Amino acid sequence: MTNQEQADVMIPPPIDSAMREIAAANSAKAGQTTGIKGLSSIEAGNNVMYSSIQAVIKLHTTNLVPYIRTAEKANAQLANIAFMWLQQGDGYTEVGYRTRDTENGNKGDGLTISGSDFDPDDLYISCKIVANSTGDKMQEANFYATLRNAGAHIAWKEVLEQLSLGNGDVLEAEWIDEQALTTALQMKVSTLQAKLQQKVKEQDAQLQMAIAQKQQADVAAAQGQGGEVPPDESNPMIPGGQGMNAAMGGEPTATAMPGATSPVQ
């Protein structure tokens, strides 16, 4: 625009009255179906249990099951139409991004899809709307756990995917890596502890050997100098040394055992 041009303010056209009435009716119906009005009248001071509130919500949301099924079917059909559009177009491509980790890539990786990347006859698309409720998740998890404990042939991979926790193969691979890392750390710690214990034993053996060598050296030194050998006090029944052997630090019979008869008269 130049300085001499002016722009008129555009007034948005009003919404069709029939559409406004339909939107208001749908909003009111959704509020009544989910029991929001009824829950808003529950006061926190009444100490209402969380499970009771979840039961009320679940009771009211059962009326939405037909609409949920319709929405799931419509979403699956829209996805199928999008793939058919790629198949029918000439050189059409579409870029998507991974929403979770898989065996072929990580979350957030870009994917370029063309009509030559898939076969329409093998294409199967399904949609499931899952309630974002912790209580529902716990109930569903307990349901699958009960089935497995009862002997139902259900793999944990399938259970994890049904709970929308991710791809079962990827989760299993990550769990194996985690277990392998934990095992390696435990083995490393055990090896270090074994080495430390062996080193302590070696040092203790060296200390005992040094003490024994010192004792032997003291005995040899005493014998070489003609002195008295330190008495052996290991046997309290023989005072003063090794029996009555004077050469080994013992005492004569008269001194060691007063009253005894000496072998040498």
pLDDT digits (tens, 9 = 90+) for 200-244: 999 999 999 999 888 888 888 877 665 555 555 545 444 444 555
CA distance 13 to 97: 37
pLDDT band at residue 248 under the 50/70/90 scheme? low
pLDDT at 142: 87
* Arithmetic mean of pLDDT, 41-52: 62
Closest CA to 88 of 112, 114, 121: 114
pLDDT, average across residues 57-62: 72
Query: How is the chain split into domains, by residue range?
Result: 18-41+48-88+112-129, 132-166, 169-230
Q: Please report the pLDDT score of residue 143 as a whole number.
A: 87
Contacts 24+ apart (CB under 8 A), 38-45: none
pLDDT of residue 244: 57
Q: Using the predicted structure, report yes or no on whether residue 196 has a pLDDT greater than 90.
A: yes
Beta strands in the chain (DSSP E): 93-97, 110-114
What percent of the chain has pLDDT above 90?
14
DSSP codes joined into one string, 134-173: HHHHHHHHHHHHHHHHTT----HHHHHHHTTS--HHHHHH
Question: pLDDT tens for residues 119-156?
Answer: 878 888 888 887 666 667 777 888 888 988 898 888 88
Q: What would the mean pLDDT of 66-89 be, rounded to a whole number?
A: 87
Confidence of residue 48 (pLDDT cuts 50, 70, 90): low
Predicted TM-score (pTM) of the model is 0.41
